[in-house]
């Protein structure tokens, strides 16, 4: 075999191999779209069109004044955590539309708790308030920093004796003394 024929044969094999590799990487492409309000979403790889079983990383970034609360429409798909702002999603063999949920800071919940500490129950009402302060302290210590702006706990404590009713805004504390702010009473 001459060098020229060897060169042509090798070129023919490489061309066939290139075409084979190109076609093996092609396949159905599925769309991934994410709806969000209150933040932006980045996808890696960038694009929005992916092959089945391709892993896509999604990152939710809240706008100023918002925080991320979770992903929606992902219950039947493979992902890391519905509450994490960064997830890896394995694309199914279909196009999917996800939702990234954000909430405004300071637009949370207010709970009002009534403690009936009349008669012989005053001591128990104080213990209950102290346990609430400890629970808030433990939540903050565990990293729930949005708790103060998103959840407010008001306690209307009715202690024994006439005129011993007061409204408190509960605060995190790990002491045995009630440190929550008395609002009225």
pLDDT at 1: 60
pLDDT at 180: 78
40 and 95 part of one domain: yes
Is residue 153 situated within a structural domain? yes
174 and 144 part of one domain: yes
Query: What is the DSSP code string of 117-137?
Result: E-GGGHHHHHHHHHHHHHHHH
Q: Please name which of 85, 87, 61, 71 lies closest in space to residue 34, comparing C-alpha atoms.
A: 71
100 and 115 part of one domain: no
Kindly give the parts of the chain with pLDDT less than 50: 17-24
pLDDT at 40: 94
Is residue 8 situated within a structural domain? no
Is residue 16 situated within a structural domain? no
Which of the listed residues 89, 104, 119 is the one where a domain comes to its end? Answer: 104
pLDDT at 41: 94
pLDDT at 75: 52
64 and 131 part of one domain: no
CA distance 56 to 92: 11
Which of the listed residues 80, 104, 128 is the one where a domain comes to its end? Answer: 104
46 and 72 part of one domain: yes
User: In this predicted model, what pLDDT tens digit does every residue of 118-143 receive, in sequence order?
Assistant: 778 888 888 999 998 888 888 777 76
Number of domain units in the chain:
2
Is residue 156 situated within a structural domain? yes
131 and 67 part of one domain: no
CA distance 138 to 33: 38
Is residue 47 situated within a structural domain? yes
32 and 95 part of one domain: yes
pLDDT at 141: 73
pLDDT at 62: 94
88 and 116 part of one domain: no
Identify the domain containing residue 125 by its residue range. Answer: 109-184
Is residue 5 situated within a structural domain? no
Is residue 180 situated within a structural domain? yes
Is residue 7 situated within a structural domain? no
pLDDT at 15: 54
Distance of alpha carbon 70 from the chain centroid? 4
Which of the listed residues 104, 123, 152 is the one where a domain comes to its end? Answer: 104
């Amino acid at each position: 075999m001459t060098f020229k024929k060897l060169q042509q044969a090798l070129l023919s094999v490489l061309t066939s191999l290139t075409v084979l590799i190109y076609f093996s990487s092609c396949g159905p492409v599925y769309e991934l779209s994410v709806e969000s309000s209150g933040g932006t979403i980045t996808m890696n790889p960038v694009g929005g069109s992916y092959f089945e079983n391709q892993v896509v990383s999604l990152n939710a970034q809240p706008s100023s004044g918002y925080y991320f609360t979770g992903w929606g429409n992902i219950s039947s798909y493979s992902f890391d955590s519905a509450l994490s702002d960064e997830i890896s999603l394995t694309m199914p063999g279909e196009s999917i539309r996800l939702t990234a949920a954000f909430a405004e800071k300071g637009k949370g919940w207010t709970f009002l708790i009534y403690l009936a500490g009349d008669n012989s129950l005053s001591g128990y009402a104080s213990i209950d308030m102290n346990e609430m302060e400890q629970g808030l302290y433990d939540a903050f210590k565990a990293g729930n920093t949005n708790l103060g702006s998103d959840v407010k706990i008001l306690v209307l404590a009715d202690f024994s004796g006439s005129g011993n009713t007061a409204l408190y805004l509960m605060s995190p504390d790990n002491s045995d003394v009630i440190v929550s702010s008395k609002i009225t009473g």
